[in-house]
Amino acid sequence: MMKAIIFDMDGTMVDNMTIHNQAWQIELRKHGIKMSLAEIKENLHGINIELLEKNFGDRFTAEERMQISKHKELRYQAMFAKEIKLISGLGRLLNELHTAKIPMAIGTAAPPENVEFVLNHLPIYQFFVSILHSDDVKNGKPDPEIYLKSAERLGLDVKDCLVFEDSITGAETTRRAGCETIIVTTTHKEEEFAKFNHIRRFIKDYNDISLSYLQKHYALG
């Protein structure tokens, strides 16, 4: 029986990963690093400071990594502000779940300024019991800390939480956490998740997901 829902944010609630990748490409080019969008999609995911260190070692100082991250996010926000919206069907689903008093949380690797950016543009803050971001954890995805803490905030065992994710790294995170997962295919194709056996369904948006569906197939309540 599932008792709560946890949502990743980028690529899961808003379809923004292509814009993130474009912002990374532009920002890295300023520092002499040329990467294709495919290379960025493959390698640059997770908490900004961690991924910069992981991919580029000591090429940048800690202060430079912070500045690159800051400038990249400002660029992303400027690019996405005019088109930001929830993935189709999600607004309806959030209202249904809220009305049914299903606890919900957001657990994202995004930095706090990006979470604030999304929540300032979309009227959804009131739906969530807990909202955790990159500054709330010591270890970024695929470490399961973000989902373990989200479940703790909800007052539940993490295995009682159904998670919506979009990425390979996110799927690995939920596997480590022990969560059943629904994947939104905004970022990756279904076949890219073939190695995972905890994914219950793939969706392109939320139009085929409803409270009644979740109650029937996941005993949500």
pLDDT given for residue 119 in this prediction: 95
| Structural domains present in the chain | 4-16+85-218 (3.40.50.1000), 17-80 (1.10.150.240)
- Residue entry with tokens 């008093």: 101
Rounded to 5 degrees, what angle do the CA atoms 28, 25, 74 make? 80
Cβ of 177: how many Cβ atoms within 10 Å? 25
C-alpha 79/C-alpha 36 separation (Å) is: 18
> How many CB atoms lie under 10 A from the CB of residue 149?
17
DSSP-derived 3-state class of residue 4 = strand
Q: pLDDT exceeding 70 applies to what percent of the chain?
A: 100
pTM metric for this prediction? 0.85
Per-residue pLDDT tens digits for 118-156: 999 999 999 999 999 999 999 999 999 999 999 999 999
Cα separation, 158 vs 16, in Å, equals 27
Examine the pLDDT at 48 and tell me if it is beyond 90: no
d(CA 72, CA 68): 6
Supply the pLDDT for residue 159. 97
Percent of the chain scored above 90 by pLDDT?
88
